[in-house]
Amino acid sequence: MTTLAGTSVLVIGASGGLGSEIARLLSAAGAQLILSARYASALEALRIPGAVVTANLARPAEVDELVAAAVRVHGRLDGIVIAAGVVAFGPAASLRDDTLDNLFAVNTFAPIRLIRSAHDALAASAAAGREPFVVTISGVVSEHPTANLAAYSASKAAIHAFGQAAARELRRDGIRILDARPGHTETGLSSHPIAGTAPRLAVGYQPDLVARRIVDAIVNGELDLPSTAFGA
């Protein structure tokens, strides 16, 4: 069991539909939060206790500084939840380069850089007897790549693969990586894609229920949350 009370946790994408629900649950469990998104106003509107640190995940320098800023808040870092992401719709044959660049910058390269940058702080947390963790959310598309979401599926499958391999390395330092792969969730992400238009989608999971499952997995020490872990 992982105790969240008193831990220092960075929630990235905390202003989003899923990130905000995860942040609320972590705060209710006693975690001391560092809330991150692109705009401070969106974070402040949540009224969730915590420090606010803005960052544009498409900019590598800001990703590295985000981790450093999070460590400075409480002098340590015990967990990271990466709930930020972008989506694009449309056929593979018409993908634009800028769309590809943005998808992979935010969905793949930013989480990789975050895990790399946070290694020393998380290892120090483990050495101090805590149970540090990183949560990635690659989603069901990393298991089942989807037509008209080819590049998005690839960007998510890439971070899932990275996390699987990195988890085997980082567990020697006492760091746990947990990847969550829920099906379509009503976060609002599909309503503002960076390219294309969302098709008519079936009603998805409610964000609060997905968030609860993820936080329960953090507390219970789980190592993986496949799509089947989120029910029918």
pLDDT band at 232 (very low <50, low <70, confident <90, very high): low
pLDDT in tens, 86-98: 999 999 999 999 9
> Which residue ranges make up each domain of the chain?
8-225
Cβ atoms within 10 Å of 194's Cβ, excluding its own: 15
pLDDT in tens, 78-131: 999 999 999 999 999 999 999 999 999 999 999 999 999 999 999 999 999 999
Q: What is the pTM of this model?
A: 0.96
Q: Which contiguous run of DSSP H or E holds residue 119?
A: helix 110-127
Handedness of CA 92, 85, 66, 126 (dihedral sign): negative
Contacts of 144 (CB under 8 A, 6+ apart): 227
Q: Which CATH class is domain 8-225?
A: alpha beta
Query: What residue has token string 């499958």?
Result: 157
Query: What residue has token string 């220092």?
Result: 8
The pLDDT assigned to 231 comes to 78
